[in-house]
Amino acid sequence: MVGARIEQPIGVFDSGVGGLTVLKALQRRLPLEDFLYLGDTARLPYGTKSAQSITRYALQAATLLVRQPVKLLVIACNTASSVALPALHELFHPLPIIGVIGPGAEASCKASVSGAIAVIATESTVRQGAYNDAISRIRPDASVISVACPLFVALAEEGWVDGPLVEGIIARYLQPLLIVPKPHRIDCLVLGCTHFPVLSEAIANVVGTEIALVDSAETTAVAVEDKLRSEGLLHDSGRKAGSVHFFATDGADRFARVGGIFLDKPISPADVEIVDL
């Protein structure tokens, strides 16, 4: 890409702290890279908003990161990926931009034996049908059923990730998927929202061991590595561990407190810069 340099950071964006599950996988796979993470916490949730609003928010958030500048942008939000990727590509061409839907679809097609796949996501991602399209492109024989689980975002943002109350809410959303008899019974459940991996233990307790849970974090990190390598922008040696800088649009304390659960390491409120988009 014109002007992109290897020493520039990678920009990562989500509506809140959910994308930190993707950042965690990115840092593990690409330990030498620097990252800028932006959580649009003032406007969360995106998943209940219209496609127009989500696209506008995503373009504003991406603009802040692109101006830093970054060498690659990761849309670590299924909702923004399913709605706004074409507009982002158009506006920021030729910057490499990677969303999480394609990598998540790829992971589910690998994990499912029967091809009966369920996707749980926000209302907007379900309405958009982006997973159905991406999965059937890779595996035309697959049957995909999508269920919106908007309350999971609130639970995750609140840091409520386990216990009987949480499992009760999960069961209420997922029960219809679990009573489908074989051979149509699903064998793979896609966590199609970057907020959901922190609930994966509670979800596994509800769905049992015969259904594989997949999320897009690892496959997205592989896609980012491949892209950086092919563009000649990958840090692969001769450098100390990379850094991370956090931006949020509201609530540094809350971002740090809940974000630590998602990233699996403590975040100090002093390290969270509040920005206006």
Catalytic residue numbers read 77, 193
88 phi and psi, to 5 degrees? Answer: -65, -45
Nearer to ligand DGL, 12 or 272 (CB): 12
Q: How far is the CB of 198 from ligand DGL (least distance, A)?
A: 11
- Restricted to residues 143-162, the positions that interact with ligand DGL (CB under 6 A) are 153
Among 27, 194, 219, 249, binds ligand DGL (CB under 6 A): 194
**Helix 101-111 vs helix 217-230: angle between axes, to the nearest 10 degrees?**
120
Place of tokens 């942008």: 73
Among 15, 41, 108, 112, binds ligand DGL (CB under 6 A): 15
Peptide bond into 266 cis (omega under 30): no
Establish how many alpha carbons lie within 13 A of residue 182's alpha carbon, considering only the half-sphere containing its beta carbon: 4
Q: How far is the CB of 78 from ligand DGL (least distance, A)?
A: 4
Q: Is 18 in the site for ligand DGL (CB under 6 A)?
A: yes
Question: Do 74 and 61 contact (CB within 8 A), yes or no?
Answer: no
Nearer to ligand DGL, 221 or 233 (CB): 221
- Restricted to residues 39-58, the positions that interact with ligand DGL (CB under 6 A) are 44-47
Alpha helix stretches (DSSP H) within the chain: 20-29, 51-66, 78-92, 101-111, 123-128, 130-138, 150-158, 164-178, 200-207, 217-230, 252-263
- Reading the block at residue 20, the tokens are 């930190």
Q: How many residues line the site for ligand DGL (CB under 6 A)? A: 17
Q: Which stretch binds ligand DGL (CB under 6 A): 137-145, 168-176, 190-198, 244-252?
A: 190-198
Q: Which stretches of the chain bind ligand DGL, using CB under 6 A? A: 14-16, 18, 44-47, 77-79, 122, 125, 153, 193-195
